[in-house]
Amino acid sequence: MNNDLQLAWLVPLFPLLGFLINGLLRNTLSKKLTGIIGSGTILLSFIVSVWMFIQVKNGNTHVANYFDFISVGSLSIPFAFQVDQLSSLFLLIITGVGFLIHVYSTSYMHEEKSNDFARYFSYLNLFVFSMLLLVLGANYVIMFIGWEGVGLCSYLLIGYWFKNTAFNNAAKKAFVMNRIGDLGFLIAVFWIINQFGTTTYSEIFRQLPGGVNTGILTGITLCLFVGAMGKSAQIPLYTWLPDAMAGPTPVSALIHAATMVTAGIYMIARSNIMYSLAPTTMSVVAVVGLATAILAATIALKQNDIKKVLAYSTVSQLGYMFLGLGVGAYTGSVFHVMTHAFFKALLFLGAGSVIHAMHHQQDMRYYGGLKKYMPVTHLTMLIGCLAIAGIPPFSGFFSKDEILVAAYAHSPILYYIGLGGALMTAFYMFRMYAMTFMGTHRSDLHHHHPHESPMEMTVPLIILAILAAGAGFLGIPELFKADSHWLSGFLEPVFKQSNTILSEHHVSHSTEWILLALSVGLIIAMIVWAVRKFSKYQLLEEAATGFGKVLENKWYVDELYDAVIVKPVLGLGSFFNTVIEKSGIDKAVNGVGRLVQFGSRKFRLVQSGNVGNYVLMMVVSIILLIWMVFYLKF
Amino acid sequence: MPINYYIYLAVILFCIGVTGVLTRRNAIIIFMCIELMLNAVNLLLVAFSKMHHARALVADANTTVGTEAQLFVFFIMVVAAAEVSVGLAIIVMMYRNVHNVDINFLNRLKN
Amino acid sequence: MNITQLLFWFLSVVSVFSAIMVITRKNPVYSVLYLIIAFFAISGHYILMNAQFLAIVNIIVYAGAIMVLFLFVLMLMNLNKESEPAKNKYLVWSGAVAGGLLMFVIIAALHTGEVEQVNGITKGNIGLIKDLGVSLFSEYVVPFEISSILFLSAMVGAVIIGKKEKAKHS
Amino acid sequence: MLLLLLILIPFLAGTLVFFLPTPAIVKSVAFIASLASLAIVLYAISLPHNHAMVSYSTSWIGALNSRFSLAFDGAGKITSLLTAVSFPIIFLATWKNTYKNANQFYGLMLLTMAGLMGVFLATDCLLFYFFWELALVPAYFLCSTWGGERRIPVSFKFFIYTFVGSLMMLIGIIYLYNKTPDQSFAWSSFTRAVLTPKEQAFFFWFFFVAFAIKMPIFPFHTWQPDTYEQSPTATTMVLSGIMVKMGVFAVIRWLLPLFPQMSTNMAPLVITLSVIGMLYASLIAMRQDDLKRLVAYSSIAHIGLMCAALFVKNQSGYEGVLIQMFNHGINIIGLWIVIDLIEQQTGIRKMSQLGGLATKAPTLAIMLVVVALANIALPLTNGFVGEFLMFNGLFQYNIWYAVIAGISIILAAVYTLGMIQKVFYGESNEALVVKDLRSNESLALSLIIIMIVAFGIFPKPLLQLTQQGLNGIISFAVK
Amino acid sequence: MNLIIFSGLLGVVMMFCGLFIKNNRTISYIAIAAMLFLLLVNTIEFTTGNGFFTIKAAAGLLQPSKYGLLVNEILLVAGILYFVLSGRDIEKVGVHVADYYALIFFVFAGIGIATSYTSLLMLFLGIEIISIPLYILTGADKLNLKSNEASLKYFLMGSFSTGLMLMGIALIYGATGSFAVFKMNIAETPVTYNMVAGMLLLLVSMAFKVSAAPFHFWTPDVYDGAPTVFTSFMATIVKVAAFIAFIRVFEGSYSSLNKKWQLVIAIIIAATLLIGNITAVFQQSVKRMLAYSSIAQAGFMLFGLFAFNDLARQGIVLYAAAYSFATIGIFSVLIKMDDHTFEGFNGFAKKEPLLAGLLTVFVLSLAGIPLTAGFFSKYFMIAGALSTGGTYLWLIILAMLCAAISVYYYFRIIQAMYFKTGEAEHTAVSVPFKLTLVLVAVLVIVLGVMPQVLLQYIYF
């Protein structure tokens, strides 16, 4: 209890305070104060996180119990935080990137009314709070609290401009799809309780391996993975993420690129031991991840909305992370989470800067030639694109390569398909880059005066660009220098058990060199092709045809879901409402009443008012009674 | 005579009375049929009275067993007389109002 | 077949026959007359069973007083014609069938019982006026007195019902 | 003695109120009486479990060996607390509503409260039945007198429906009474009634039907949406917040201990019905345009879960139900308050005609969102704890029930968010005149929200409250 | 005994009052006083166990029992309430006010017999003494054709049922050689076919008197046609007395023939409940509805006959009180209404909140809602029936469903009074009337909360 890390509660506390202050005083605070409170609380959290990270790096990990959250019979779920390598790393990403994005937001959202502005920051702070809960939780229930909390904040922020019905629908869709995943998560939690009698990570993992049979573990992990599918936008629950771009761009950067969507990866990394013991799930994860990566990449090829491109790119990158998890490259996935957080946040914020400059025009077809108007944004975006495309020495190269090599070690087919995705990534990113910054401007300059964004926006861009460029060096492959993978060493305590279970196969250095050369070469070729093709892009009002159209329409997946799930469910609702409820059950209930009334109308006719009839009926009754008593043997 | 004969006779008379009640519409005749039913009962009671008396005589020559039934018949007659006076009064009242003694003539109370 | 039996059968046939006539005659006056015959036949049965008191009372009260009252009312109402409207055929038939069925059922029910052969049904003298009188004014004085209430109420009733009311009470 | 007061205070106050002249005095008396009850409940909770003050027994009907006995056990504590907490809030929230013949309205409300308290405290089966009916009659009058257009047939259907159920229960009560070893109506004697398995199977349903109608469980639920729609909102709050809990409570207090074996045997059937009801009601709720009906169907779904969790017969399920009884009561009252405000201010309940209220009434919007989120059991709201435990209980019983029932979580999100969206978001309809909350309403809603958050983060007090009485139930349930 | 003698005498007194006193109101007061006197003498007999007269000759014919006397008490209280509440309306029926009272007192003499007879002879006389005045009272509104019709129907069918009863008695006599009720106990006499047939016919005729289906046909028409004041009397006090008579007949004999009789009675109960309740649903006239409801209530009371155990006996007493008080209360208000249909009650609560409230109490009692006497009376009946075992569960379920149906038509009064708008036209009522009605309501509620107030007297 005397451990310094007991103070972990401070980390989520600050954003919570920020949320409360901004939320309750939204009508009185000035925008400036709101911004300071909103960003400042995250900064404080970041500082504490850094301090904790240092503690952890020095080998101090801790599970901090605060109070009994739920305690029923033998089941006890404490409100507890776990500070270890994995969580402290995520804390840094969340608070660090989060802080930058808050700062960025103060400028980006400046046009909002002051109470809306405060509402925005309170949501954002609440999100950070939830995300921190998710990461810090020492058991699945606390994680679930954060898990649902971030979903809620995502919902609130996507629907931030609540007057727009489309945005609201997008928000609702995001929440509902997340809920589908959450159900899987919940079921998994119950299953865990059923099997382990606890939800605390350390106690569960202590019982593994051997505590529970593989079949059940497969079930649990699959259910958890369903949760991850929802949160991290994997097939089949990915469609909400592109729609989620309805929210303000910094939100997309923070929630739908850097942090929330990686919660699924965090969760699987956290539960790595269970996954390692369930090879079937691992394969499922890998296949789903890869499929998502490819599918999203293909769609991204034909999108014209700059945020949509980035959104599908995010889905695709998340797919890679799951591929990494699926083939056992936990460190690689976490590494990719980190680098992705940097470069994707960078890209989004850059896109935000562009959108800001273009007065909320998001269609790339109306961009072009912005290079000269927005030099900082251009440069930082270029770094981001290079990073995501996987050009050495930018960070994306290292992390993606680590995953792909691990996939190759697992099965070359995975590698080749993954590589195909990577090539597409390079292509569409530079398509975006070229369409935005190169060539000539395609919209009316008299009305739009593209201009560089203010410092609050560019400084975070620059910082992120530096991180995106340099973060790769935290995980230099053994290929280049032995034992230089710092991250791997740092995370080793977390994944140690899994690594021994999985007994990694290694790819020989020579093969790895060939693979590297192949991929980098092909990617450069792709970039060149994309830039050449799209730098001279001219606005043409021609509809896409054939396969292009399919891609433009996102493989018609939304339509498919609508037809296969949404419509039938609504139809079923209507059917129940009108047919079964009103004409069925209620009719039956009322029918009893009617039957009585009908009986009443008929019965009273017996009362004919005619004495002869009365007596006749009496006599008949007597006859029947006598007959009954004397002749019925009962 | 076997008691059964009396039973049968009484039942037959009784049921003829019932049939009369069922088949006629004239209130007075119906009333008469009811009187017939009562008489059938009286006959039966007297027969039973004699039967029980005869049975009791075997043991006791001075027995009064059976008296009660005959007195019962007496009371039935008393009641019948009272009933007749009231019944005929009612029928007359109705006749005064509607000039009819058909039981179906007044048929306002139904359902 | 001795004389008692002969008389029994004779009286039975007369009573049943006249009873049937009562319910079948269209003219109410005939019905009354047949009913009086039936009552006489029943009184004959009483005498046959040595119930003299009842036989006399039956003739005086029933055949005499009550039936005369009926007749009187009938005449008063001028109902001595065949004025009764035809009743619904089905109702008549179902009434007759029901009555017959009732008879059948009761007789059948009682028939299955053990037959009490009572010999000397004419023996004993409980039916004599003296015996009954003693009994009536000793053991049965309470119902006797109580039946006065009955008569009182019948009397009051006849007055209430029979008295012509001037106008409905406002 | 305290327990007797809990019944007497609302009863006497209710009777008194009938004769009071002005609405202001009437409201004050009603409010004070409900607050007094709350104070007593809180004090009673603070007393040790077997304190003399928290049990009461006196002879009642000697001929039947029925006693007027009250007790304060786990389930009773939580439900009487709910009653005592709800009524002041309801009175507060509807403080500014004007009712024709306010004295009668508040009198009947207080009488309902007395009946409810009686149901939750009685340990004598006949007494229980007595109060069971007693709570119903004033509610009927409330609905019929102050309700909407179709109030007369609707509330009548409600009355007859529940009355049929009660009568079935009465048969069961009498039959069981005959089978008790000492011919008494005491709870303890009833649990010792000797029944053959066939009788058990038979009479289980007699009781269950009564409770199922009250809760209501699919397919006995059709009275409920109509009644909620047509009743005056204050009454709807009582009906949905507390009165439906009578059914749940009765299952815990009576059905399970009385038929331990049968409730295990019948569990699959009952749970199946409940789960079907959950999905069914959720699907229908998605298609509702009327706010009140939507909430009504959502309530059916929630109650379905409670019923299912009761029959899984494990501790998690029980505690979940107990805690959820309280929380659901609070939440749904909150929802009704918001809906009442909307209806009063705009005169509209159809969601399709509303919209954009968030611009005009931001505070109201936020409060609705919080309450609605609690209603869909978002973590850190009070709804989560109960649902988590109930689903957990259901899962421990059978995974598939939990999975299928879980679908309702998703559907709940769909219709609840849909409601928020249609009412508060979107472009505002200029024609609608909406003022934001008034002081009494915001106070009531704030109290509710404080409870939502407080018990969401720190449910321990409630859990401890429920735990005490639970041991008894569990020992019977597994007998 | 006291009741029989004094009410006979008082009947005569009332007759003479008619001669000497022209003021109807005075006659009413005398009648109330007379009724109080009857209550007093009956109470003396009830508490001391001895009447003023010891008539040796009555030994085998009348045997007042505690139970019967208790019922007398209830009926006399009901009678007083009836006189106080409806005295004015009796005065309005016709000119022979004193005679009506006299007839009512004669009926009470009959009731005294019906609750204490031990011989079938007395049963017969008692029933007739009750019936004959009723034929007259039914026809008291002489110029009203409905009243004529009701009277004729009642008289013809009543006499017919008397015929059936006598046939039954004769057959029973044939089997037992005695008119003593206890002789009907099968332990004393072997079961013969005569006996069974006789009992069946007796059952039928008694079922007729209590208007149990399928021998109920006279009830709706007669109750509907009779002057409402006398309907009130017939439907409550007389009906209860008939029930007690009914039960006394079968008290001894029944248990031995249990199984068969139980089925027969079960069928009668089922038919009564169904016909009474279902037919009542569609009635438009409250008066006629109450007639059917009295059939339905008879169905419940018949459970006492079905069960024949302590619970049922207690239940009968309670039912007698609950049903009579509530029905008298409702009728007393109904008489005041100008329109006897349900619509006639529209908006009554607004005009007369107190009366409406009291009426609600009575209606709730009839419907068997707890806190009113009606609940416990039904409760005891059902409990009595259930304690005979589970064989006839179907009957009990049916009874409960019928109770639910009864709520339907009873509550129509409440709905009309409270929830519908209209001008419920009625004649003004006096303060004493209201106070008495309050007293009745208090009685109903007290019995509904603490039935032992009454029940303790059964075995004391």
What is the phi/psi pair of residue E336, to 5°?
Answer: -75, -15
Say whether residue E124 is in contact with chain B using an 8 A CB cutoff: yes
CB contact under 8 A, A619 and C105: no
Burial E262-276 (b: 16+ CB within 10 A, else e): bbbbbbbbbbbbbbb
Say whether residue D156 is in contact with chain E using an 8 A CB cutoff: yes
Range in A328-337, A448-457, E323-332 with the lowest mean pLDDT: A448-457
Shortest CB distance from A179 goes to which of D362, D413, D424? D413
In chain B, which residues have their Cβ closer than 8 Å to the Cβ of A623? none
Q: Which residues on neighbouring strands pair with residue B102, listed in sequence order?
A: B26
Say whether residue B9 is in contact with chain E using an 8 A CB cutoff: no
Q: Which chains touch E (3 or more CB pairs under 8 A)?
A: A, B, C, D
Q: What gap in Å lies between CA D239 and CA D138, rounded to an integer?
A: 11
Range in B10-14, D168-172, D428-432 with the lowest mean pLDDT: D428-432
**Predicted local distance difference test score (pLDDT) of residue C117:** 59
pLDDT digits (tens, 9 = 90+) for A201-214: 888 888 877 777 88
Q: What gap in Å lies between CA A437 and CA A261, rounded to an integer?
A: 28
CB contact under 8 A, A623 and C87: no
Instruction: Categorise residue D354: left if φ over 0, alpha if ψ from -120 to 50, beta otherwise.
Output: beta
CB contact under 8 A, C102 and A616: no
CB contact under 8 A, B72 and E173: yes
Which of B60, B85, B90 best probes binding to E when mutated, by most E CB atoms within 10 angstroms?
B90
What is the phi/psi pair of residue A443, to 5°?
Answer: -120, 170
Contact D379, A148 (CB under 8 A): yes
CB contact under 8 A, B72 and E159: no
- Average pLDDT along chain E: 88
CB contact under 8 A, A72 and D426: no
CB contact under 8 A, B13 and C15: yes
CB contact under 8 A, D171 and E408: no
CB contact under 8 A, A623 and C94: no
Higher pLDDT: E388 or D210? It is D210
Reduced to 3 states (helix: H, G, I; strand: E, B; else coil), residue A502 is: helix
Q: How confident is residue B57, by pLDDT bands cut at 50, 70 and 90?
A: confident
Q: What gap in Å lies between CA E226 and CA E287, rounded to an integer?
A: 10
DSSP secondary structure string for all residues of E297-357: HHHHHHHHHHH-SHHHHHHHHHHHHHHHHHHHHHHHHHHHBS--BGGGGTTHHHH-HHHHH
Does residue C15 carry a pLDDT above 90? yes
* E57 Cβ neighbours under 8 A, 6+ residues apart: C138, C139, C140, C141, C142
- Nearest partner of D258 among D250, D268, D270, judged by Cα: D250
What is the phi/psi pair of residue A535, to 5°?
Answer: -70, -25
Using CA coordinates, name the residue in chain B closest to A615.
Answer: B22
- Nearest partner of A349 among A315, A322, A372, A383, judged by Cα: A383
DSSP state of A555: G
Shortest CB distance from E103 goes to which of C146, C147, C153? C153
**Are there at least 3 beta-carbon pairs closer than 8 Å between A and C?**
yes
Mean pLDDT of A309-333: 89
Q: Measure CA of the first residue to CA of the last residue in chain D; give whole Å.
A: 32
Does residue E189 carry a pLDDT above 70? no
What is the percent of chain C where pLDDT is above 70?
A: 83
Using CA coordinates, name the residue in chain E closest to D148.
Answer: E419
What is the percent of chain E where pLDDT is above 70?
A: 96
Using CB atoms within 10 Å of the CB of residue B18, give its burial: 0 to 12 exposed, 13 to 18 middle, 19+ buried. Answer: buried
Q: How confident is residue C122, by pLDDT bands cut at 50, 70 and 90?
A: low
Does residue D468 carry a pLDDT above 80? no
pLDDT digits (tens, 9 = 90+) for A582-626: 888 888 888 888 888 888 888 888 888 888 889 999 999 999 988
Does residue D21 carry a pLDDT above 80? yes
pLDDT digits (tens, 9 = 90+) for A213-251: 888 889 999 999 999 998 888 888 888 888 888 888 888
Instruction: Give me the residues of B, 38-97, that contact C with CB < 8 A.
Output: 39, 42-43, 46-47, 49-51, 53-55, 57, 63-68, 70-71, 73-75, 77-86, 88-93, 95-96
Shortest CB distance from E217 goes to which of A596, A614, A629? A614
DSSP secondary structure string for all residues of A195-232: HHS--BHHHHHHTTTTSS-HHHHHHHHHHHHHHHHHHT
pLDDT digits (tens, 9 = 90+) for D315-367: 888 888 888 999 999 999 999 988 888 888 888 888 888 877 877 788 888 88
**Predicted local distance difference test score (pLDDT) of residue C169:** 47
Cis previous bond, E214, omega within 30: yes
Does residue A634 carry a pLDDT above 50? no
Residue position matching structure tokens 């954060």: A146
Q: Which chains touch D (3 or more CB pairs under 8 A)?
A: A, E
* B96 Cβ neighbours under 8 A, 6+ residues apart: C164
Q: What gap in Å lies between CA E408 and CA D156, rounded to an integer?
A: 8
**Predicted local distance difference test score (pLDDT) of residue D479:** 41
Does residue A195 carry a pLDDT above 90? no
**Rounded-to-10 torsion of CA A621, A623, A626, A629:** -60
Does residue A312 carry a pLDDT above 50? yes
Using CA coordinates, name the residue in chain D closest to A166.
Answer: D426
Higher pLDDT: A364 or D329? It is D329
Q: How confident is residue A6, by pLDDT bands cut at 50, 70 and 90?
A: confident
How many Cβ contacts (< 8 angstroms) between chains C and E?
99
pLDDT digits (tens, 9 = 90+) for D372-385: 989 888 888 888 98
Q: How confident is residue A302, by pLDDT bands cut at 50, 70 and 90?
A: confident
pLDDT digits (tens, 9 = 90+) for A488-518: 888 888 888 888 887 766 777 888 888 888 8
Contact A176, D414 (CB under 8 A): yes
The ipTM estimated for the assembled molecules is 0.91
In chain E, which residues have their Cβ closer than 8 Å to the Cβ of B102? none
* A311 Cβ neighbours under 8 A, 6+ residues apart: A241, A242, A244, A245, A252, A256
Say whether residue A24 is in contact with chain D using an 8 A CB cutoff: no
Mean pLDDT of E152-174: 93
Q: Measure CA of the first residue to CA of the last residue in chain B; give whole Å.
A: 50
In chain B, which residues have their Cβ closer than 8 Å to the Cβ of C32? 32
Task: Name the token pair of A367.
Answer: 């961009």
Which of C105, C138, C146, C165 best probes binding to E when mutated, by most E CB atoms within 10 angstroms?
C146
Does residue E78 carry a pLDDT above 80? yes
Does residue D435 carry a pLDDT above 80? no
**Predicted local distance difference test score (pLDDT) of residue A443:** 74
Give the Cβ contact number of residue E359 at 10 Å: 25
Mean pLDDT of A42-65: 89
Angle at E161 between CA E246 and CA E66, to 5 degrees: 20
Please report which helix (H) or strand (E) contains residue A81, including its range.
strand A75-83
Does residue E254 carry a pLDDT above 70? no
Q: What gap in Å lies between CA E450 and CA E447, rounded to an integer?
A: 5
Using CB atoms within 10 Å of the CB of residue E420, give its burial: 0 to 12 exposed, 13 to 18 middle, 19+ buried. Answer: middle
**Predicted local distance difference test score (pLDDT) of residue C166:** 60
In chain E, which residues have their Cβ closer than 8 Å to the Cβ of C19? none
**Predicted local distance difference test score (pLDDT) of residue C170:** 41
- Average pLDDT along chain A: 86
CB contact under 8 A, E163 and B7: no
Output Rg (C-alpha) for chain A, integer angstroms. 30
CB contact under 8 A, A609 and B108: yes
Mean pLDDT of A359-368: 80
pLDDT digits (tens, 9 = 90+) for A273-294: 888 888 888 889 999 999 999 9
Does residue A453 carry a pLDDT above 60? yes
Please report which helix (H) or strand (E) contains residue A82, including its range.
strand A75-83
pLDDT digits (tens, 9 = 90+) for A104-129: 888 888 888 888 888 889 999 999 99
CB contact under 8 A, E369 and D133: yes
CB contact under 8 A, B9 and C12: yes
Does residue E56 carry a pLDDT above 90? no
Using CB atoms within 10 Å of the CB of residue D476, give its burial: 0 to 12 exposed, 13 to 18 middle, 19+ buried. Answer: middle
DSSP state of A16: H
**Predicted local distance difference test score (pLDDT) of residue C168:** 47
CB contact under 8 A, D424 and A162: yes
